[in-house]
Structure 1
Amino acid sequence: MQGPIERLQLFVGLGCRRGCPASTLNDLLRQTFQAHALPLDALAGLASIALKHDEPGLHALARQLGVPLLFFPLEQLAPFEPRLSHRSAASFKHTGCHGVAESAALALAEHHAAGSAKLLLPRTLSADASLAVAWAPPFGG
């Protein structure tokens, strides 16, 4: 018999406009977690598309929160398309991915977990960024 999950781990995918500051990303993350009563200490990592690897705001946010930041190439995000809650034509035009935040959250959760990831929160939008939260069963869970 399995015991309860000892520690909830949440994985956040982020998309953003070029030059989006860490403060904007941090506000979106904190407001989203607060609005859905998610514990910030359950945040296990951040992810985005490889095209954003040079975005200072993403790196600064990860440092501020003390969590790892991973970037996934389009080829690793594309298989998640059927599981997205929304397909953005604008995102596809700019990145080749129909949903950066949701795809990155799912990819990160499956990278760190034992099973199929699920979107806990579909994309949340601000003027300059998008965020999604995923969860997956932990290894050994």
Structure 2
Amino acid sequence: MQTCNRPDSPTVQPGASLVAGLGCRRGCSAATLRELIENSLRVIGLEIASVTALACIDLKDQEPGLLELAAQLAVPLVFFNATQLVAWELHLTHRSAQVFQTTGCHGVAEGSALALAAQLGDGTATLLIERQKSANATFALAISPAHSG
């Protein structure tokens, strides 16, 4: 498990997993989530089509905006419980006491992105985009090299 600062122009190797970790307020729309992702990816020269999966905390497993976005992008949406996300807390660039009070972990977007990228790849994950925030959502992007086994 590793993290690093967001590179200016990442090189994404074939087979690598690019995971969008998301946090959102209740009722956040798919359009709002998509706009945050697209705006953030644009800064590093990537498009939303490069995202291979979405991740979030299991408290949001019935959130219509998340479910709709996953369907629009035709990518898996994987949920993690707070205990699974706590395991990634040393790697977070931002820790929120308010998020902890609500969810039991200090960061949903970065933690879930790292957790799923590591699971999909070789067990390691790196943040390409640190936590980005809009009024109703947070987003982070993690990458893991292609799984060789």
Q: TM-score, normalised by structure 2?
A: 0.87
Q: State yes or no: 1:130 paired with 2:129.
A: no
Letter in 1 for 2:131: R
Could you say which residue in structure 2 is the equivalent of 1:73?
81
Matching residue of 1:90: 98
- Choose between structure 1 and 2 for higher RCO, CA contacts under 8 A separated by at least 6 residues: 2
Unaligned runs of 5+ in 1: none
CA deviations on 1:68-120 (whole Å, 9 max, x unpaired) are: 10101111111000000010111111111101000000011011001311111
Could you tell me the percent identity over the aligned residues?
A: 48
Query: Is the partner of 2:88 in helix, strand or coil?
Result: helix
1:61 corresponds, among 60, 64, 69, to 69
Q: Which has the higher helix share?
A: 1
Contact 1:8–1:42, Cα closer than 8 Å, also in 2? no
Q: The residue matched to 1:123 in structure 2 has which SS? A: strand
Match of 1:35 in 2: 43
Q: Is the 8 A contact 2:70 2:77 kept in 1?
A: yes
Aligned residues: 138
1:20 is matched with 28
Q: Structure 1 pair 6/40, CA: closer, same or farther in 2 (3 Å)?
A: same
- In the aligned structure 1, how far is the partner of 2:16 from the partner of 2:50? 6
Opposite residue 87 of structure 2, the aligned amino acid is P
DSSP-derived class of the 2:132 partner: strand
**Secondary structure of 2:19's match?**
strand
Cα deviations across residues 46-76 of structure 1 (Å, max 9, x unaligned)? 0100000010000000001111101011111
Structure 1: distance between partners of 2:18 and 2:90: 21
TM-score (norm 1): 0.92
Out of 85, 95, 115, the position equivalent to 1:107 is 115
TM-align CA RMSD:
1.5
How far apart, in 2, do the equivalents of 1:8 and 1:41 lie?
Answer: 13
1:52 maps to which of 34, 41, 60: 60
Aligned to 2:13: 5
